[in-house]
């Protein structure tokens, strides 16, 4: 008798609290690695941006000197401005992807082949996309000047003209990005409720009204993902720039990530503090978008 | 007791034997890190290790060849973390960061040895703070490679002065060709043009002062260099759209005869030959005189070997460097079927090749002004990057000169701090 009553308070602390502890235990490995490989480097980069360091000798504290220099650095302004161009123009991939998806969302013979062909640019490497477009734009033998010549327009050197080069690279980047958005919308279209379309049709909606009021609202989850991946894609436009112009002509196509790489890690770089300052600016731009995404996801979850 | 003594004696003899063996041949491990990753240089490097190994059978040599481009960033890590005993690098300002950070071994003692007198031509490039930090194994000349056959067709001869150069160029442009091909996408080719124009206009010493950041970019003498450059640009001397091409992509213009000359390093010669140009079609001349008052100076980038300060087997490393600079070895590794470049050792002989011979005689006899390394090796890294970008912009938009020079001056003051 006494044995059984005494047993109850003997339950261990772990036993009593396992409801609260278990989720933390499951999260622990993730939190640990996230802290070590994401949070810690962010803090390290931010602190490094207040130092002058060549990666070899001693780092000296310089306060906000790196940021002050950024303000008067024209190459930085150009890079920042190019980032804005990328962010804005890259969003064109979303409507373009939507229209291709609508076009391909039909059942005809061999539609799978057409879908695959449209999806192809996303499968091949960005480096290949960059090379293909470099040849396309080539002032000597490029297809573009052949076409322009056929309609009587003068030859242009897209990648050699500082006013055009960035747009030329963005156009190259839009090719695979549109394909990506297309595939997102194609899967989204599968989930569109046919009864709602039927009901709308009975109410006399068609064409643009049908698209805008019935289809697009139902595609909201796909649009959200397409927006997220496009923004992220625009901010990591590094490889195309590196392949197509290497930041040139005279630094006119650099974006922040490329400029940071040049300053901190390239052959002529190794100004770690200055590179870190550029990275911090880029981080805050990204943080702005990430915060927005997290906030809107949170709102969605709450709504359910 | 007796046997004990015997044993001790035997032991003593053994240690004495081994220590005398140590003094004669080298033992232990020698780790070599090399950036000679292209097929021909790789074979040269492996050959050197093999021959050195045969000379020192007790030495265990471990060679690691790293991709040439990747090496440029990896060297920073391995010099601090896991230093080999011997490592490749470049001369002049390029080794500055490692010398200043104390990562290269001072090898002035080697340079004091009599055999090293034969390397005098590059001693300056290996010296920082009056000490020597590495040894050269090869270098190559820069100069103008031109289409002899087209020159003959137009009745031109290789120019010796800038006036002749401009007169030639006028006729070449009139024939519907460009005088020079160049691909400036990766910037450094424009650096070569500036090196020569500035060294011919203002001389070697001025050029080096500019490289060290002692002269303002907005100086009138610098402007004079650009004014000379502009003469060639304005008459249409350079191919169009060069900012889109790499130096290899600019080769076909010369091979097809759309351009008649190329200011380049000797490493371009195999490419010309692969493109179908024979030695009768392809000629070489030294960059012409601009200002007769300054001595002729040349660009001759030198590749080098160094001993990291954290090396384990410095004795073997020094012996390896002695082996590398020896006249016989430099003759062998720079031969036409090996590196196809110029030996630095004055006692070496040059392969029987038209361009190697021309380069060797030019650098030994016709470069009294001095031998520069190259724009991106003489100038500090940051100045070189900003500088070459400005040079490329000048070649496309010469009207932007004032703006470009002000920007470069800003970088100069910033890096001088």
Clarify whether residues B181 and B58 are in a common domain: no
A253 vs A166: CA distance, rounded Å: 5
**Regions in chain A scoring below 50 on pLDDT:** 1-2, 4-7
CB-based contact B76 A139, cutoff 8 Å: no
Q: Provide CB contacts within 8 A for B279, sequence distance 6+.
A: B354
Instruction: Give the per-residue pLDDT at A25.
Output: 92
In a domain, A62, yes or no: no
Average of per-residue pLDDT values in chain A: 89
A222 and A260 in a single domain? The answer is: yes
Tokens of B195: 């090196």
**Does A32 lie in the same domain as A132?**
no
- CA distances to B105, B287, B307 from B46, rounded to whole Å, are 24, 36, 18
A165 neighbors A252 (Cβ within 8 angstroms): yes
Compute CA B81 distance to the chain's CA centroid, rounded to the nearest angstrom. Answer: 27
Per-residue pLDDT tens over the stretch B336-392: 888 889 999 888 888 888 999 999 889 888 888 888 999 999 998 889 999 999 999
pLDDT for the residue B417: 64
Residues A197 and A134 in one domain: yes
What is the tally of structural domains in chain B? 2
B92 and B225 part of one domain: no
Other beta carbons less than 10 A from residue B324's beta carbon: 21
Q: What percent of chain A has pLDDT over 70?
A: 96
Between CA B169 and CA B146 the distance in angstroms is 12
Strands B142-147 and B178-180: unpaired
pLDDT of residue A47: 95
Domain assignment present for residue A256? The answer is: yes
Half-sphere exposure of B126 (CA within 13 A, CB side): 29
Shared domain check, A20 and A168: no
Regarding whether A91 and A24 lie in a shared domain, the answer is: no
A82 with A32, same domain: the answer is no
In order, the DSSP letters of B214-268 are: -S-TT-HHHHHHHHHHHHHHHTT-BPTTGGG--TTTTHHHHHTTSEEEEEEEGGG
- Rounded Cα distance between A210 and A189, Å, is 14
- From CA B140, how far away is CA B371, in angstroms rounded? 11
For residue A119, what is the enclosing H or E element? helix A111-123
Strands B259-265 and B282-285: unpaired
In this prediction, residue A304 carries a pLDDT of 64
Residue B260 and residue B152 in one domain: yes
Residues of B with a Cβ under 8 Å from any A Cβ are: 69, 72-73, 76, 80, 97-98, 100-101, 103, 185-187, 240-241, 243-244, 376, 381-382, 384-385, 389-390, 392-393, 396, 407, 414
DSSP secondary structure letter of residue B45: H
Q: Based on the domain organization, do A166 and A265 belong to the same domain?
A: yes
- A202 C-beta neighbours (distance < 10 Å), count: 8
Domain co-membership, A38 together with A88: no
**Phi and psi, residue B90, nearest 5°:** -125, 165
**A135: how many CB neighbours lie within 10 A of its CB?**
13
Q: How far is B222 from chain A (nearest CA, A)?
A: 20
Check: CB of residue A81 under 8 Å from CB of residue A162: no
Domain shared by B160 and B266, yes or no: yes
In this predicted structure, what is the pLDDT of residue B19?
A: 40
b/e B165-193 (16+ beta carbons within 10 angstroms → b) = bbebbeebeeeebbbbbbbbbebbbbbbb
Alpha-carbon span A36 to A42, nearest angstrom: 10
B96 burial (CB, 10 Å; 0-12 / 13-18 / 19+) is: middle
Three-class secondary structure of residue B283 per DSSP: strand
User: 3-class DSSP state for residue B16?
Assistant: helix
Tell me which chain A residue has its CA closest to the CA of residue B188. Answer: A268
- Residue B379 confidence (pLDDT): 92
The boundaries of the domain holding residue A8 are: 2-48
Closest to B45 measured CA to CA, from B64, B26, B68: B64
Q: Are residues B281 and B313 in the same domain?
A: no
| Residues of A within an 8 Å Cβ radius of B | 54-57, 69, 74, 138-140, 157, 159-160, 245-246, 248-251, 262, 265, 267-271
Both B146 and B129 in a single domain? no
Q: Which of B42, B133, B123 is nearest to B333 (CA)?
A: B42
Is B371 inside any structural domain? Answer: no
User: A58 lies in a domain?
Assistant: no
**Do the Cβ atoms of B186 and A246 come within 8 Å?**
yes
B281 plus B266 within the same structural domain:
yes
**Do A255 and A137 share a domain, yes or no?**
yes
Same domain, yes or no, for B227 and B91? no
Query: Are B217 and B73 in a shared domain?
Result: no
CB contact under 8 A, A139 and B185: no
CATH number, domain at A141? 1.10.3720.10
For residues B176 and B257, state if they share a domain: yes
Q: Is residue A66 part of a domain?
A: no
Same domain, yes or no: B291 and B309: no
Please report, to the nearest 10 degrees, the dihedral formed by the alpha carbons of residues B295, B298, B303, B306 taken in order.
20
Residues B247 and B315 in one domain: no
B76/A270 touch (CB, cutoff 8 Å), yes or no: yes
Q: Would you state the pLDDT for residue A299?
A: 87
For the domain that residue B270 is a member of, what is the CATH number?
3.40.190.10
Residues A149 and A39 in one domain: no
Q: How far does A298 lie from chain B, in Å, by closest CA? A: 43
Q: What is the DSSP letter of B161?
A: B
Minimal Cα distance from B389: which residue of A?
A250
Could you tell me if residue A65 is inside a domain?
Answer: no
Provide block-wise average pLDDT over 10 residues at a time, chain B (417 residues).
49 43 68 91 94 93 92 89 93 88 93 90 88 94 96 95 96 96 93 97 95 94 97 95 92 95 93 93 96 94 94 94 94 88 89 90 87 91 91 95 94 82
Domain that holds residue B233: 142-299+380-416
By CB atoms closer than 10 A (0-12, 13-18, 19+), residue B220 is exposed
Cα(A290)–Cα(A295) distance, integer angstroms: 8
Domain count, chain A: 2
């Amino acid at each position: 008798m006494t044995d059984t009553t005494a047993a109850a308070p003997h339950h261990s602390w772990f036993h009593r609290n396992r409801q609260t502890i278990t989720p933390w235990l499951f999260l622990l490995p993730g939190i640990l690695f996230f802290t070590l490989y994401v949070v810690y480097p962010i803090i390290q980069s931010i602190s490094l941006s207040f130092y002058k360091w060549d990666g070899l000798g001693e780092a000296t504290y310089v306060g906000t000197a790196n940021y002050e220099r950024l303000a008067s650095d024209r190459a930085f302004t150009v890079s920042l401005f190019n980032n804005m161009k990328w962010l804005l123009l890259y969003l064109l991939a979303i409507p373009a992807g939507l229209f291709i998806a609508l076009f391909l969302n039909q059942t005809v013979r061999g539609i799978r082949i057409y879908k695959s062909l449209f999806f192809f640019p996303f499968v091949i490497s960005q480096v290949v996309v960059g090379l293909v477009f470099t040849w396309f734009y080539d002032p000597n033998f490029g297809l573009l000047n052949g076409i322009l010549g056929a309609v009587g327009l003068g030859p242009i050197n897209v990648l050699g003209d500082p006013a055009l080069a960035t747009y030329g690279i963005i156009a190259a980047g839009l090719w695979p990005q549109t394909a990506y958005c297309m595939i997102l919308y194609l899967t989204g279209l599968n989930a569109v409720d046919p009864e709602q379309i039927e009901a709308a049709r009975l109410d006399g909606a068609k064409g643009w009204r049908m698209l805008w009021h019935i289809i697009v609202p139902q595609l909201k989850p796909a649009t959200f993902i397409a927006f997220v991946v496009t923004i992220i894609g625009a901010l990591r436009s590094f490889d195309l720039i590196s392949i197509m112009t290497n930041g040139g002509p005279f630094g006119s196509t650099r974006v922040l990530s490329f400029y940071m790489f040049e300053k901190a890690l390239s052959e002529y770089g190794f100004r770690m503090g200055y590179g870190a300052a550029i990275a911090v600016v880029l981080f805050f731009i990204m943080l702005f978008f990430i915060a927005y995404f997290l906030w809107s996801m949170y709102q969605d979850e709450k709504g359910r | 007791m007796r046997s004990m003594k015997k044993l001790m004696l035997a032991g003593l003899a053994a240690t004495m034997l081994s220590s005398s063996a140590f003094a004669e041949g080298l033992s232990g491990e020698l780790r070599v890190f090399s950036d000679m990753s292209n097929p021909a240089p790789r074979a040269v490097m492996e050959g050197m290790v093999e021959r050195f190994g045969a000379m020192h059978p007790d030495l265990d040599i471990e060679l690691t060849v790293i991709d040439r481009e990747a090496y440029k960033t990896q060297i920073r890590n391995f010099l601090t973390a896991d230093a080999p005993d011997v490592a490749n690098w470049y001369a002049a300002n390029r080794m500055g960061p490692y010398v200043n950070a104390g990562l290269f071994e001072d090898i002035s003692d080697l340079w004091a040895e009599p055999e090293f007198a034969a390397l005098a031509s590059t001693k300056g490039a290996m010296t920082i703070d009056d000490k020597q930090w590495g040894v050269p194994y090869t270098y190559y000349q820069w100069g103008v490679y031109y289409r002899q056959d087209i020159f003959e067709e137009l009745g031109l001869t290789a120019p010796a002065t800038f006036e002749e150069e401009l007169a030639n160029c006028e006729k070449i442009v009139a024939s519907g060709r460009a005088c020079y091909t160049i691909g400036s996408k990766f910037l450094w080719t424009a650096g070569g043009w500036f090196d020569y124009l500035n060294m011919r206009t203002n001389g070697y010493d001025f050029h080096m002062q500019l490289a060290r950041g002692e002269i303002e970019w907005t100086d009138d003498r610098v402007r004079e260099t650009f004014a000379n450059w502009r003469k060639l640009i304005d008459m249409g001397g350079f191919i169009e759209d060069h900012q889109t091409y790499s130096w290899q992509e600019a080769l076909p213009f010369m091979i097809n005869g759309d351009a008649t000359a190329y200011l380049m390093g000797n490493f371009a010669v195999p490419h010309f030959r692969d493109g179908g140009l024979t030695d009768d079609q392809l000629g070489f001349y030294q960059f012409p005189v601009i200002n007769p008052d300054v001595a002729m100076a040349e660009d001759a980038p030198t590749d080098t070997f160094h001993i990291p300060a954290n090396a384990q087997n410095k004795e073997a490393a020094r012996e390896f460097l002695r082996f590398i600079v020896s006249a016989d070895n430099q003759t062998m590794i720079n031969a036409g079927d090996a590196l196809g470049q110029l030996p630095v050792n004055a006692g070496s002989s040059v392969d029987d090749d038209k361009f190697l011979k021309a380069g060797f005689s030019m650098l030994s006899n016709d470069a009294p002004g001095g031998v520069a390394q190259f724009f991106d090796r003489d100038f500090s890294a940051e100045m070189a990057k900003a500088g070459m970008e400005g040079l490329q912009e000048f070649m496309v938009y010469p009207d932007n000169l004032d703006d470009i020079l002000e920007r470069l001056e800003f970088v100069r003051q910033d890096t001088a701090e």
